[in-house]
């Protein structure tokens, strides 16, 4: 057994054999791969059906990292509403996530991360943990060794500045006057991806106000030099982009001394109106926790008291992100994914052979139809004449439907024999029209916006954490192409442009980059089924290269896995990692679409899924296989380990659902969509 060392993180890069050893393969009791696959599919189907909500939806926990929990406590401390039982429940979860070296990581098995460790440490101090407790002393020593608070990211230092643990004047700044920048002007708010836009607008208010609430304790132990806690930040060369934007930030910070007070007040009030207009019916903003947290702080700073309906509902929405575990620990979800989970579960169940008119499938279709978004949102800024039609990711997020969910919901609805087929046709027709209207100029699709590709937002010193733009990606484009093909639009010129873009984006080794799932296995598992659905034969050179790559990265145990380090160190980690149920399923979906059902690779992959399934029909998957921001923000979708293996097993057993006689409805063949 061999291994190499990634010197940048200290992580050990597993060999194929090492990755395989993470899971013990249990030989299926029944003889034959097909029998084992059928048994696994039946058990997984029963498990999934038993967990559907009475309203028709599915939702698994969405696990990220402890910054969500830490920032929830910091928010409550800032607002003066932190309760002891909440603090202790959150602290129990945070302590449970601490690594042996005293740090906290952003994904399972990942390296310690400085900002995450700082925030977790501060949250535990709020909960009463003493700095000389062994687990705390170990964390603070590690933080100091890596530069202390001064080396943490900007967003972490903003949280600390709220309590005087960092100086506001030593932070990058974005002025609230940004709200007035026209859409053609660089760095206007619509140059940012929707998740960044929703966060940055309230933060411009916070940055302008620079509030400081009394700190309940000092944090000297987190500074390399407590006598000089705010050391000057090094400047990049003036001739570089980073150097240019650092100096631009100095100009912006200097502007606050000369800003016209009336203009600044008007800008903050305009930003507040923008925020309030985008509050969802459930009180949240965008269906995700970070914008909600910053929106509550910003509006409170502008004089909205905690009993104001906007803030009262906003705080109530944050409580709904809490997942209480049996041991009394409290985990905060960054987001909730019922639409995504429901469409994927529907696809999995139909592909596994559940009758298309099964009452639970019809109930799921009814719920999805009720979630359709039929009013314009922020996407209409770039597409003002495009009629709405689509789905978001969350329970409530009418401002930001997303292209990926819309494509997958359409694919799910098309699989179900609904009692009102005309209603389904109309909803899918609107979805097709909207997705086609959201095509970027290069022929591909981003997740939320059109041509959201400005190079400037990522250069801002303020934006040093994760992606803040939404360029087209292979996985989203593939799902749209697959939907269009299912609707009889494979030969439409717009679909062909998407296909051409996908073919041009293939990596030299035959894989595709996965923006919203980890990583090259996800990208390849998304693209190959789309290309074959659109008519590319399994003999096409691009398909053969993809098959060869998947076969080359299969683990010794028969499964597939990929560590999140592939986002940072692609060459060493591409397709490398312990086998997981979801990633094995993605690889199988691609190989099956390519016509490889009888191959040894498929047989071994199916055996791995069947052999690692638990008796209750589930798979264990502690690894994070979802992505918010590549490398910086990772997700463990707890339902991925169920829906994707069931889809893969179903397609192995029954073939492609659109090629077998399960549906009585015909797709919108040749639909005229403008």
460 close to 466: Cβ distance less than 8 angstroms: no
Question: Which residues share a beta bridge with 14?
Answer: 3
Nearest to 642 by CA among 669, 612, 604: 612
Nearest to 656 by CA among 664, 665, 644, 647: 647
Question: How far is the C-alpha of 522 from the C-alpha of 651, rounded, in Å?
Answer: 17
Question: How far is the C-alpha of 580 from the C-alpha of 630, rounded, in Å?
Answer: 19
What SS3 state is found at 308?
coil
Q: List the 62-63 sheet strands across, edge first.
A: 62-63, 633-637, 626-629
Catalytic residue among 22, 69, 404, 632: 404
Q: What angle do CA 621, 323, 195 make, to 5 degrees?
A: 85
| Sequence-separated contacts (24+) of 182-186 with Cβ below 8 Å | 183/381, 183/382, 186/454, 186/456
Q: What angle do CA 91, 93, 94 make, to 5 degrees?
A: 60
Question: How far is the C-alpha of 90 from the C-alpha of 108, rounded, in Å?
Answer: 19
Question: How far is the C-alpha of 505 from the C-alpha of 524, rounded, in Å?
Answer: 11
Phi, psi dihedral angles at 202 (to 5 degrees) = -65, -30
Is the torsion defined by CA of 31, 35, 37, 38 positive or negative?
negative
What SS3 state is found at 493?
helix
What is the DSSP secondary structure assignment for residue 292, as one 8-state letter? H
Per DSSP, helices labelled H in 256-358 are: 261-277, 289-301, 309-319, 338-351
Q: Which helix (H) or strand (E) holds 62?
A: strand 62-63
Q: Kindly write down the DSSP assignment for every residue of 610-624, as one continuous string.
A: HHH--TTS-----S-
Task: Give me the numbers of helices (H) and strands (E) for the chain, helices first please.
Answer: 24, 7
**Burial classification of residue 310, based on how many CB atoms lie within 10 Å of its CB (0-12 exposed, 13-18 middle, 19 or more buried):** middle
What SS3 state is found at 5?
strand
Q: Which helix (H) or strand (E) holds 542?
A: helix 541-552
What SS3 state is found at 598?
coil
CA distances from 382 to 315, 373, 375, 448, 449 (A): 31, 18, 15, 11, 8
CA distances from 74 to 219, 242, 335, 435, 464 (A): 14, 31, 18, 39, 21
404 is catalytic: yes
| Tokens 């969509």 belong to residue | 673
Active site residues: 404
């Amino acid at each position: 057994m061999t291994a190499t060392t990634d010197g940048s993180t200290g992580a050990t890069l597993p060999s194929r054999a090492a990755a395989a050893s993470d899971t013990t393969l249990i030989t299926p009791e029944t003889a034959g791969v097909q029998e084992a696959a059928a048994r696994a599919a039946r058990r997984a189907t029963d498990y999934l059906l038993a967990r559907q909500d009475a309203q028709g939806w599915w939702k698994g926990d969405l696990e990220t990292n402890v910054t969500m929990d830490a920032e929830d406590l910091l928010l409550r401390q800032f607002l003066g509403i932190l309760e002891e039982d909440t603090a202790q429940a959150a602290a129990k979860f945070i302590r449970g996530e601490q690594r042996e070296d005293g740090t906290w990581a952003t994904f399972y098995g990942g390296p310690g991360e400085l900002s995450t460790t700082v925030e977790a440490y501060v949250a535990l101090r709020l909960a009463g943990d003493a700095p000389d407790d062994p687990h705390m002393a170990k964390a603070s020593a590690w933080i100091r060794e890596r530069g202390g608070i001064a080396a943490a990211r900007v967003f972490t230092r903003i949280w600390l500045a709220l309590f005087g643990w960092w100086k506001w004047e030593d932070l990058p700044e974005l002025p609230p006057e940004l709200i007035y920048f026209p859409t053609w002007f660089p760095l206007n708010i619509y140059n940012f991806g929707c998740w960044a836009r929703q966060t940055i607008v309230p933060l411009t208010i916070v940055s302008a106000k620079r509030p400081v609430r009394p700190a309940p304790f000092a944090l000297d132990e987190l500074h390399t030099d407590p006598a000089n806690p705010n050391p000057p930040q090094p400047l990049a060369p003036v001739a570089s982009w980073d150097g240019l934007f650092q100096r631009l930030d100095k100009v912006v910070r200097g502007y606050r001394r000369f800003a016209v007070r009336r203009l600044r007040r008007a800008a903050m009030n305009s930003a507040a109106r923008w925020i309030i207009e985008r509050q969802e019916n459930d009180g949240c903003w965008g269906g995700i926790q970070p914008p909600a947290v910053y929106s509550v702080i910003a509006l409170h700073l502008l004089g909205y008291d905690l009993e104001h309906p906007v803030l009262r509902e906003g705080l109530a929405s944050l409580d709904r992100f809490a997942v209480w575990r049996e041991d009394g620990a409290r985990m905060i979800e960054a987001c909730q994914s019922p639409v995504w989970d429901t469409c994927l579960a529907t696809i999995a169940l139909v592909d596994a052979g559940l009758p298309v008119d099964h009452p639970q499938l019809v109930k799921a279709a009814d719920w999805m139809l009720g979630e359709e978004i039929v009013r314009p949102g922020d996407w209409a800024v770039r597409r003002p004449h495009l009629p709405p039609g689509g789905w978001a990711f969350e329970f409530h997020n009418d401002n930001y439907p997303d292209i990926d969910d819309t494509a997958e919901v359409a694919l799910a609805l098309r699989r179900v024999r609904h009692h009102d087929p005309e209603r389904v046709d109309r909803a899918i027709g609107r979805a097709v029209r909207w997705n086609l209207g959201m095509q970027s100029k290069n022929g591909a699709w981003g997740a939320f916006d059109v041509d959201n590709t400005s190079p400037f937002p990522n250069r801002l010193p303020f934006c040093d954490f994760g992606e803040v733009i939404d360029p087209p990606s292979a996985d989203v484009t593939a799902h749209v192409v697959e939907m269009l093909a299912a609707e009889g639009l494979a030969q439409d010129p717009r679909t062909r442009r998407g296909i051409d873009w996908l073919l041009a984006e293939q990596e030299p080794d035959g894989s595709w980059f996965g923006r919203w799932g980890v990583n090259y296995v996800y990208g390849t598992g998304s693209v190959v089924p789309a290309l074959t659905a659109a008519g590319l034969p399994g003999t096409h050179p691009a398909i053969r290269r993809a098959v060869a790559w998947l076969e080359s990265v299969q683990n010794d145990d028969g499964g597939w896995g990929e560590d999140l380090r592939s986002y940072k160190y692609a060459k060493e980690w591409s397709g490398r990692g312990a086998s997981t149920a979801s990633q094995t399923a993605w690889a199988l979906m691609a190989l099956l679409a390519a016509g490889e059902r009888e191959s040894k690779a498929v047989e071994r992959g199916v055996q791995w899924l069947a052999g690692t399934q638990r008796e209750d029909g589930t798979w264990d998957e502690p690894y994070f296989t979802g992505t918010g921001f590549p490398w910086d923000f990772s997700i463990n979708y707890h339902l991925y380990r169920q829906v994707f293996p069931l889809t893969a097993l179903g397609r192995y057993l029954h073939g492609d659902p659109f090629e077998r006689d399960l549906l009585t409805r015909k797709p919108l063949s040749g639909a005229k969509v403008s």
